Amino acid sequence: MRAFRIIGPLKGEVVEQKVYEIKANEVLVRVGACGICGTDIHIFKGELPLKYPVVPGHEISGEVIEVGSEVQFFRKGDKVAVNPNLYCRKCYYCKRGLVHFCENWKAIGIHLPGGFAEYVKVPEFLLHKVPETLSFEEAAFAEPIACCLHGIRRLEISTGDKVAVFGLGPIGLIHIQLAKMSGASLVVGIDLIEKKLKIAESLGADYTINAGSKDPVKEIMSLTEGRGVDKVIEATGSPKVLEQALRVIDYCGKILVFGVAPPEAKVNISPYIVYRKEVTIMGSFTNPFTTEDSVKLLSSGVVKVKPLVSHVIRLEDIVEYFNRIMRRDKDIIKVLVKPG
């Protein structure tokens, strides 16, 4: 089999290696498609404490090729999506149902070989069947949609809420759709790139703001008669944007911190505003128990992902596209790798 490996900071290669041998509770999956995520870029840049080489890629769809002797619910030929997060199901947090905080957490594509390869091995409990009508490219979005769905559920958007989404990469564009699905009466998308703003409008955004030419705070306050929005989704990871979110949030509003900021980043927050407006600021991490519903949303067409795919590439192209993403290439929305 062929696999792409990160062998050190800013270094990657495609290699030939043996197909994985599976354990009794594992399934061998032929990778149909695997999305490039920001986490893959962090690994490539050497920003995570991992041992090289690493086969990255955790947004995986594919076809079951082989099943272990103890596998009960999957058969050869099944089309599947993968939840990459392995939980021990034994530690303090797992026993409380908080599996995404597992003290022994590992992830496919980070700690274990991932989907930038022709094959990947997966424990049965992390697989989800997808219908034949769903393409591999679409099914590869099951993981990022599941993560967004967890955040949306934490945010508790009510019918009639006004929502602002800062950052319209793939995650922000998914959030736009989930916010509308949840009953928001006004969804505003904010970004610097016109291409992304246009896609947001086509996916249901009621209003978009180019933050490069207009002040998002002034625009949002004007749209809402000076009151602000009920919910904000911060999907950029920029501390400055989180500060803007606090300026546009209405009384009893909630701010979801979804974008991943550098660990050392700091934000200037007015405790008085949080106190006076009864503002809630919350985070969202991974996808506990949301992958099955994510597949349903994809299958029904409620969440559309085809408009998000800007590039489909081979294993040999990964380093080039990692570099393009790091240069913030404006043509890139979502890149999918097709190892075969």
Q: Active-site residue numbers?
A: 39, 42
- Please name the residue that has the structure tokens 């929305």: 333
Spell out the residues 6+ positions from residue 97 whose beta carbon is closer than 8 angstroms to its own: none
Q: Which of 170, 318, 172 is nearest to 232 (CA)?
A: 172
* Cβ contact 31:339 at 8 Å: yes
What is the Cα–Cα distance from 208 to 110, expressed in whole angstroms?
Answer: 35
Helix axes 194-202, 170-181, angle to 10 degrees: 30
H helix or E strand, kind and range, residue 142: helix 142-155
Q: What is the 8-class DSSP label of residue 54?
A: B
Task: Output the six-digit token pair for 117.
Answer: 């390869």
Q: How many angstroms separate the CA atoms of 306 and 304, rounded?
A: 6
What's the token pair of residue 261? 């900021």
For residue 208, give both structure tokens.
């978009």
Interatomic CA distance for residues 102 and 96, integer angstroms:
10
Q: What is the rounded distance in angstroms from the CA atom of residue 164 to the CA atom of residue 190? A: 8
Interior/surface letters 114-135, b for 16+ CB within 10 angstroms, e for the rest: bbbbbbbbbbbebbbebeeebb
Rounded distance, CA 260 to CA 308, Å? Answer: 20
Backbone φ and ψ of 311, nearest 5°:
-145, 140
- Residue 238 CB: number of other CB atoms within 10 A? 16
